[in-house]
Structure 1
Amino acid sequence: MASEQHDLVIIGGGPGGYAAALYGAAAGLDVAMIENRRIGGTCLNRGCIPAKELLQTAEVARTVRESDRFGVNASGDITLDFGTSTDRMWSVVDQLVNGLGSLLKNRKVTVFDGTGTLGADSTVTVKGADGEETTIDAANVILASGSVPRTIPGFDVSDRILTSDEVFLLEKLPDRVVVVGGGAIGCEFASTFVDMGSEVTILEALPAIMPGVDSDVVKVVKRALEKRGITIKTGVKVTGQTEVDGGVRVELEGGDSVEADTVVVSVGRRPLSDSLGLDGTGVEVDERGFVKVDEYCRTGVDGVFAVGDLIATPGLAHVAYAESILVIKQIMGEPCVPVDYGRVPWCIYSHPEVAFVGLTEEAAKAAGHDVVVSKHRWAGNGRAMILGETEGLVKIIAAKNDDGTGGQVLGVHMAGPWVTEQLGMGYLSVNWEATIDEIAQFIQPHPSLSENFGETVLTLTGRGLHG
């Protein structure tokens, strides 16, 4: 068995793993990283990037279909070449994966192709596809093995039953799609398929889609999805499925059923901790499979950390980046501050898009805050009208001053055109604990979508311009 020595060894090459490798190498550490599939992890290969690429294809299709609103008449039948769409998707993925590989190589990160396990003495063993093993000794270990899609009983993966991993392998666009799960991922897939031309049904067990999102935002998105032809059934429990001629019948509690050509099971993800060999290492795992860590991402073993989807924090790539930077700073002996998970940015890339940070109105009141709320819809925004995208709103929750005006900004919630690119102002406001009076001084360009944020803020001073 070969052996190597490094300053840091990382098990997992997804966002948490490669961010730690790049940041650590930039800090001067000798880094080794282990990945048993393609570097980039779920985000790059089976998640964020391919999903958003298909969403962009869907947006182009929708734009062309609706182009007559602008006096642009697309002649003939508008068709979607699904193969070309997926070819472009994989081209984008490959470019990013190759670029990441070059970055790692340029920073002299040693990348192992294999499965990494942690030993009782905190050494790491890499088992390659050829069966050969290498042991790595390092002063520090980061566990970043990520997650896999959750499934539900009776819905084993097949040609017609897919999770978010398999959906990107479709070779043709299904005519009818049932999405089981109305969370962020489920709504993104539903939005993609309906704009590409599929008939779509969302089945959600909870009373509303997009759990955890501000209720006003959820109402906007639900209305917009239904307007585009998506059937949304909430408060329904899926009990099973049977194959029927040419498709699948999804059975619901109470005797109802829905038929489809393809079922996309989108009920969340579970941590991939069972492959790490943690028994006897001192690293603890909770009943759901998450590795237990403190606020600094430290496990119970000195020098062993865990980040990303492997721990019970928001399953977002940018959160994994932040956790990895936090860990590297500790290894380097630099000052660092734990991630404030209550103030991280969230984005959902459905149509309309959703973006938010901080407390919802309901959560702020439950926490005991006396709040004042301002909401501005896109219908009065010149830029949104020019784009023809006026569905949605900007909503800001602020602490209430004695005179009824807004004080500290507690939450910013948006639904509408390109709000995922507009959240920066809201993110800075919430995380810098800014007050309404402070950010009301900021000048917004005109005409722009960002004016809606500025107008919403200005209203909370008691002297809004347009509302």
Structure 2
Amino acid sequence: MVPTAENYDVVIIGGGPGGYAAALYGASAGLDVALVEKYKVGGTCLHVGCIPAKELLETAAVHRAVVGASTFGITAGEPSLDFSVTQQRKQEVIDKLFGGLSGLLKSRKVTVLDGTGTLHGDHLVRVSGGSSGDVELTGDHVILASGSVPRTIPGFEVDGQRVVTSDELLSLERLPASAVVIGGGAIGCEFASMMSDLGTDVTILEALPKILPGLDDDITRVVLQSFKKQGIDVRTGVAVTGHEPHDHDGGTKVRFGDDETIDVEMVVVSVGRRPLSENLGLDGTAVKVSDRGHIEVDEWCRTGEAGVYAIGDVIATPALAHVGFAEGVLAIQDILGEDPVPVDYGRVPWCIYCHPEVSFVGHTEASAKEAGHDVVVSKRRFGGNGRAIILDEAEGMVKVIAEKQSDGTGGRILGVHMVGPWVTEQLGQAYLAVNWEATAEEIAQFIQPHPTLSEVFGHGAFTLTGRSYE
């Protein structure tokens, strides 16, 4: 131990969702907590991720509503987009949430240090490069929550103009007339949907056989059909090989597949994120890092160094803000000796905010069968739902996968996959059903309010009992 270093119950390196959740939860339990953050508390999610991305997607949703206003007898005219106002509002949203989070940390008496934190032997954390100056502190326990950064690919060096990642896209002064999105995962599909709604001609290039891997095939088909209607060109099973910037304008020619090319104004590289672990120090510790840069942990997020934990994007678990929250709470509970239940990563909720929205939890039909389950499936479409028709958003479906009982009815709910209007807000009861291992019969006992979008899930589970009132 360094005699001059101030000691805390917990020192956390990284102030993103996992880090600040651990800090707030630990402080609420009476622990003395220090939080080290090199940029601003809130991390990627608040500043260059979830929040700004969803604000831009909401702009796209408002634009769609205005375009379709005549359906409801409202004459609005052709909408025009002032993207500078959109960006201003986005920043106002971020600033409000950042101010609230900063105030909450202060009220909980969490010591926040500005700078880059590195971990050394004996739980020594050195802070440098920020306004807090060069500081040394120790913790009875240390939590590593340094997060992630966008992955890049060879041949597509990011310049902030022709080639961008999510970081640059979220701060553009204007949207391009045309764009290629490299990567058809959740982030790529959200960006493609947003830009298309706001007037950009979009092509998605995905090296895998399908977009949105992990999603049930029936749900993916609905997304693809909708994207096609929107004019989004989706090309799967194609690898990009590079690009050639134009001399005459700011665009570029993208090479992909079997000698195919496409000319666009901008390339959006959306091939996932990589753990930011290389700057953590870790000398003199037993913390291990995998070949892919993830810190290795057990099911309680403990590293190989006693008293040191790692959570969030820096470990090989689903890179979701709410998973980071859960891991932060888990680590603190373990520090407190409360014998917490580890996170069940096969049953965490997933939400994708493209149009139409997607959400899911648990097994797909295919993965349930691969796991050895005999299954029965219910597929209910929003086309028959009163609220969806009223909203003029009747595209989509809810698929419920359950264990098949001896009489052919559905038993335990194994997975629920949704695509359609506001399904990211409807996943709650499906998430509870899967995680509480509820059966179709048990869900059928609960009354669904009418008219609501959530009736589709309720009725879907109900039909698995072998009867229906619809």
TM over 0.5: yes
Q: 2:440 is matched by which residue type in structure 1?
A: I
Deviations 1:84-123 (A, max 9, x none): 0011001000100111000000001000000000002221
In the other structure, the counterpart of 1:147 is 148
Indicate the residue corresponding to 2:410 in structure 1: 406
Cα contact 2:114–2:131 (8 A) shared by 1: no
SS at match of 2:115: strand
Asked whether the equivalents of residues 13 and 117 of structure 2 are also in contact (C-alpha less than 8 Å), the reply is: yes
Q: Which residue of 1 aligns with 2:164?
A: 162
Residue 437 (structure 1) aligns with: 441
CA distance in 2 between counterparts of 1:450 and 1:282 reads 49
How far, CA to CA, are the matches of 2:130 and 2:31 in structure 1?
A: 27
- In 2: Cα distance, 1:286 partner to 1:225 partner: 37
TM-superposed deviation, 1:253: 3.1
Unaligned runs of 5+ in 2: none
1:173-252 mapped onto 2 (5 Å cutoff): 173-244=175-246, 245-246=248-249, 247-252=251-256
Residue 274 (structure 1) aligned to one of 259, 275, 278: 278
Choose from 29, 32, 46 the match for 1:30. Answer: 32
Deviations, residues 406-443 of structure 1 (Å, cap 9, x unaligned): 00000001000000000011101000001111111110
Aligned partner letter, 1:217? I
CA apart distance, 1:66: 1.1
1:295 pairs, out of 299, 308, 316, with 299
Amino acid at match of 1:297: C
TM-score normalised to structure 2 length: 0.97
Aligned pairs, number = 465
From 44, 67, 73, the equivalent of 1:42 is 44
What's the CA shift for 1:132? 3.5
Q: Secondary structure at the match of 1:446?
A: coil
- Partner residue of 1:3 out of 2, 5, 11: 5
What letter matches 2:353 in structure 1? Answer: Y
**Secondary structure, in 3 states, of the residue corresponding to 1:372?**
strand
Q: Secondary structure at the match of 2:214?
A: coil
Runs ≥4 residues deviating over 3 A: none
Structure 1 position 121 matched with structure 2 position 122: yes
2: CA distance, partners of 1:131 / 1:440: 57
Corresponding residue number in structure 1 for 2:100: 99
SS in 1 for 2:376: strand
Aligned to 2:80: 79
Letter of the 1:68 counterpart: S
Contact conserved, 1:187 with 1:350, CA < 8 A, in 2?
Answer: yes
Secondary structure of 1:222's counterpart equals helix
In structure 1, C-alpha distance between the alignment counterparts of 2:256 and 2:344, rounded to whole Å: 39
Q: Do the aligned partners of 2:433 and 2:443 also contact (CA within 8 Å) in 1?
A: yes
Letter in 1 for 2:103: S
Which ranges in structure 1 are unaligned for 5 or more consecutive residues?
none
Amino acid at match of 2:58: Q
* AA partner of residue 410 (structure 2): G
Q: Deviations over 1:115-141 (max 9, x none)?
A: 000002221100133694111111000
Aligned-partner residue type, residue 330 of structure 1 = D
2:415 counterpart of 1:415: no
The correspondence for 1:20, drawn from 22, 25, 42, is 22
Change (3 A) 1:131 1:450: closer
1 CA distance for matches of 2:191 and 2:469? 38
Cα distance in 2 for residues equivalent to 1:215 and 1:178: 24
Contact (CA 8 Å) 1:4, 1:134: kept in 2 or not? no
Instruction: Judge which range, 399-408 or 238-247, deviates more.
Output: 238-247
- The residue number in structure 2 matching 1:368 is 372
Q: Secondary structure at the match of 1:384?
A: helix
1:55-74 pair list within 5 angstroms: 55-74=57-76
Deviation string 1:136-194 (CA, Å, 9 cap, x unpaired) is 11100000000000000011111210011111120011111110000000000000000
Contact 1:372–1:400 at 8 Å: present in 2 too?
yes
Superposed CA deviations along residues 32-59 of structure 1, whole A, max 9, x for unmatched, are 0000011100000000000000000000
The reply on whether 1:336 has 2:340 as its aligned counterpart is yes
Query: Aligned partners of 2:79, 2:432: CA distance in 1, in Å?
Result: 42
Separation of aligned partners in 1, 2:108 and 2:253: 52
Q: Match of 2:208, as an amino acid? A: L
Q: Which amino acid aligns with 1:264?
A: V
Once the 2 structures are TM-superposed, how far is the Cα of residue 4 of structure 1 from its aligned partner?
A: 1.6
Task: After TM superposition, give the deviation of residue 254 of structure 1 in Å.
Answer: 1.4
Distance 1:22 1:38 in 2: 16
Would you say the 8 A contact 2:151–2:272 is kept in 1? yes
- Superposed CA RMSD in Å reads 1.1
